[in-house]
């Protein structure tokens, strides 16, 4: 199917999404790699940036750069206003109840570490348990492991099925009076599984257990409403959602954030300091020590403006159609096995090809201009679960097309030819 066939005639909901026009907003999609057009299928690692984000970052450095919250001069006030405006946009985007619930961090990893190091220390004691799932990224494993080691607590893990879905009955069984925190990914970066987080939160809340949702891979694919989910914490990675790198968000319920001690000490997180005592700043600044990633926030605000301008229902429908197309096309290749066939999936396809190491697949595809990721995807326990060291992973964004998938399939056929498999 060609790109134009994909969008015309506009009879179905998914066809209302105009991918040809959307692609024009992402300048990098026009480059060539090794003489071939770039086919970018590594969106779970990081997404590409629309022109509006690039323009906003350039403008910031050309016309607006100053430190925030500190100056009375024009530029500092302008930078502060833009920075806080980004917070307002993110609050609206997530449907948080207050801007005070939106903490700026360096990324999803730092957001999770922040919760583990502050709330975790308050809540988790010797003999307690922290419950995660077998689908987690290392960022949602290691901070809890560190916490458990420090507190003498136990990390418990909800097992997953052969198709890469959480076993809900096991989750229910593992929730107990010992469980102090549940930490689950919204969408698995390694397999694409969409976890039933709303149900899992409800079940945990039934035992008064707070839940952190690692939303690094959720927000790029799904509309998220933190009040509807009723999650206690939700983490976002800006660079995976078309914004700048090195920036992220921690959403937390106000009462929980208020109860938590600061994460780091330094400028901005204080109201007053003497050698005897420091009085901490109000939320959200209590958790934002030091000069923040100002342009990161402003850039992410622009990414949200971009997303808001799209018809998200149509985007979701389009991505679903693209994922089905890719799943069917890859399934037809002999000796190729897709790892992770959950019923509810976002745009990630992990696969192995018999007789060929994933790194070789990635290297040969690169020569064809096709960028995928190979390795353990920072989810080694997922690889262990399937008894493999690594997979090749194609991950989609709404600017990908069926033509991209065709290029991937042709590249894999070349791999097979070269390896005689
Ligand atoms: C599910 C998941 N959680 C957390 C992270 C870490 O995000 P960040 O790069 O913002 O630290 C990633 C990054 O790949 C991820 O996929």
Give the tens place of pLDDT for each residue, 137-170.
Answer: 999 999 999 999 999 999 999 999 999 999 999 9
* CA of 109 relative to ligand 1 center, distance in Å: 6
Q: Which two tokens stand for residue 290?
A: 């030091």
Check whether the bond before 284 is cis (ω within 30° of 0).
Answer: yes
Mean pLDDT of 12-31: 87
* CA of 105 relative to ligand 1 center, distance in Å: 13
For ligand 1, whether the C-beta of 216 sits within 6 Å is yes
**Cα-flanking dihedrals φ and ψ of residue 270, to 5°?**
-115, 155
Q: Which two tokens stand for residue 277?
A: 């005592």
Is pLDDT of 2 > 50?
A: no
Neighbouring CB atoms inside 10 A of 236's CB total 28
pLDDT number for residue 71: 84
Give the tens place of pLDDT for each residue, 61-104.
Answer: 999 999 999 789 999 999 999 999 999 999 999 999 999 999 99
Which atom of ligand 1 is nearest to 214's Cα? 3
Q: Which helix (H) or strand (E) holds 400?
A: none
The distance in angstroms from the start CA to the end CA of the chain is: 27
- The Cα-based distances of 412 to 157, 330, 334, 366 in angstroms read 35, 9, 11, 11
Is pLDDT of 11 > 50?
A: no
- 416/413 Cα distance (integer angstroms): 5
Per-residue confidence at 24, pLDDT binned at 50, 70, 90? very high
pLDDT number for residue 16: 67
Check whether the bond before 9 is cis (ω within 30° of 0).
Answer: yes
- The number of helices, as runs of H, and strands, as runs of E, in the chain is 16, 17
* CA of 353 relative to ligand 1 center, distance in Å: 26
Is pLDDT of 9 > 80?
A: no
Name the β-bridge partners of 272.
Answer: 279
Give the tens place of pLDDT for each residue, 321-377.
Answer: 999 999 999 999 999 999 999 999 999 999 999 999 999 999 999 999 999 999 999
Mutation test residue for ligand 1: of 217, 381, 393, 397, the one with most atoms within 8 Å of CB? 217
Mean pLDDT of 392-400: 98
- 157/18 Cα distance (integer angstroms): 41
Is pLDDT of 38 > 80?
A: yes
- 420/61 Cα distance (integer angstroms): 52
Establish whether 378 is a catalytic residue. Answer: yes
* CA of 245 relative to ligand 1 center, distance in Å: 11
Which atom of ligand 1 is nearest to 236's Cα? 10
Which atom of ligand 1 is nearest to 46's Cα? 14
Is pLDDT of 15 > 70?
A: no
Mean pLDDT of 173-194: 98
Catalytic pick from 85, 148, 231, 378? 378
- The Cα-based distances of 413 to 232, 288, 338, 408 in angstroms read 46, 50, 16, 9
- Give the pairing of strands 270-273 and 248-252: unpaired
Q: Which two tokens stand for residue 69?
A: 């919250």
Q: Which two tokens stand for residue 268?
A: 């901005």
* CA of 144 relative to ligand 1 center, distance in Å: 15
How does 150-167 read in b/e, with b if 16+ C-beta sit within 10 Å?
ebebebbbbebeeebbbe
Per-residue confidence at 6, pLDDT binned at 50, 70, 90? very low
Q: Which two tokens stand for residue 421?
A: 């498999």
Contact 194, 222 (CB under 8 A): yes
For ligand 1, whether the C-beta of 296 sits within 6 Å is no
Contact 130, 156 (CB under 8 A): yes
In this structure, the dihedral spanned by the alpha carbons of residues 169, 175, 176 and 180, taken in order and rounded to 10 degrees, is 170
Helical residues (DSSP H) of 281-333, grouped into ranges? 294-309, 312-331
The DSSP result for 6-19, as a single string, is HHSS--STGGGS-H
Residue with the smallest CA separation from ligand 1 atom 12 is 216
Q: Look up residue 75 and give its DSSP letter.
A: H
Per-residue confidence at 19, pLDDT binned at 50, 70, 90? very high
Give the CB-side neighbour count of residue 174, counting CA atoms within 13 A: 23
Q: Look up residue 252 and give its DSSP letter.
A: E
- Give the pairing of strands 129-133 and 179-185: parallel
Q: Which two tokens stand for residue 265?
A: 């000490």
Mean pLDDT of 26-44: 98
Per-residue confidence at 17, pLDDT binned at 50, 70, 90? confident
Residues 6+ apart with CB under 8 A from 233: 111, 115, 119, 210, 211, 212, 213, 250, 251, 252, 253, 256
Residue with the smallest CA separation from ligand 1 atom 15 is 216
pLDDT number for residue 421: 84
Task: Share the mean pLDDT of the chain.
Answer: 95
Which atom of ligand 1 is nearest to 378's Cα? 14
pLDDT number for residue 4: 42
């Amino acid at each position: 199917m060609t790109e134009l066939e994909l969008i015309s005639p506009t009879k179905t909901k998914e066809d209302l999404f105009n991918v040809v026009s959307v692609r024009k907003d992402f300048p990098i999609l026009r480059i060539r790699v090794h003489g071939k057009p770039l086919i970018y299928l590594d969106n779970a690692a990081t997404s590409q940036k629309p022109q509006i984000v690039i323009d906003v970052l350039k403008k910031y450095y050309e016309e607006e750069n100053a430190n925030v919250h500190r100056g009375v001069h024009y530029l500092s006030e302008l930078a502060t206003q833009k920075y806080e405006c980004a917070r307002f946009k993110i609050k609206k985007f997530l449907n948080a109840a207050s801007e005070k619930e939106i903490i700026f961090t360096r990324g999803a990893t730092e957001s999770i570490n922040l919760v583990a190091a502050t709330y975790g220390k308050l809540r988790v004691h010797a003999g307690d348990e922290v419950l995660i799932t077998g689908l987690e990224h290392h960022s949602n494993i290691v901070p809890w492991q560190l916490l458990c080691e420090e507190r003498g607590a136990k990390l418990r893990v909800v097992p997953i099925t052969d198709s890469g879905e959480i076993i809900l009955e096991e989750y229910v069984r593992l929730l107990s009076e010992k469980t102090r925190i549940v930490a689950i990914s919204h969408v698995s970066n390694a397999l694409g599984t969409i976890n039933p987080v709303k149900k899992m939160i409800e079940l945990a809340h039934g035992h008064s257990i707070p839940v952190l949702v690692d939303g690094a891979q959720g927000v790029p694919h799904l509309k998220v409403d933190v009040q509807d989910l009723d999650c206690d914490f939700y983490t976002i990675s800006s660079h995976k959602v078309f914004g700048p790198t090195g920036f992220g968000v921690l959403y937390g319920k106000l009462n929980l954030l208020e109860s938590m001690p600061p994460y780091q000490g330094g400028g901005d997180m204080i109201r007053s300091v003497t050698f005897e005592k420091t009085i901490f700043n109000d939320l959200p600044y209590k958790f934002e020590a030091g000069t923040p990633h100002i342009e990161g926030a402003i850039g992410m605000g622009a990414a949200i403006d971009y997303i808001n301008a799209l018809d998200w229902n149509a985007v979701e429908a389009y991505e679903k159609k693209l994922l089905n197309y890719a799943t069917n096309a890859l399934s037809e290749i002999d000796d190729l096995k897709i790892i992770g066939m959950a019923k509810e999936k976002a745009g990630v396809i992990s696969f192995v090809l018999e007789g060929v190491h994933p790194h070789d697949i990635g290297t040969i595809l690169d020569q064809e201009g096709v960028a995928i990721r190979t390795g353990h995807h920072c989810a080694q326990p997922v690889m262990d679960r399937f008894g493999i060291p690594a997979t090749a992973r194609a991950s989609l964004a709404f600017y990908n097309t069926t033509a991209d998938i065709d290029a991937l399939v042709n590249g894999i056929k070349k791999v097979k030819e070269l390896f005689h498999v």
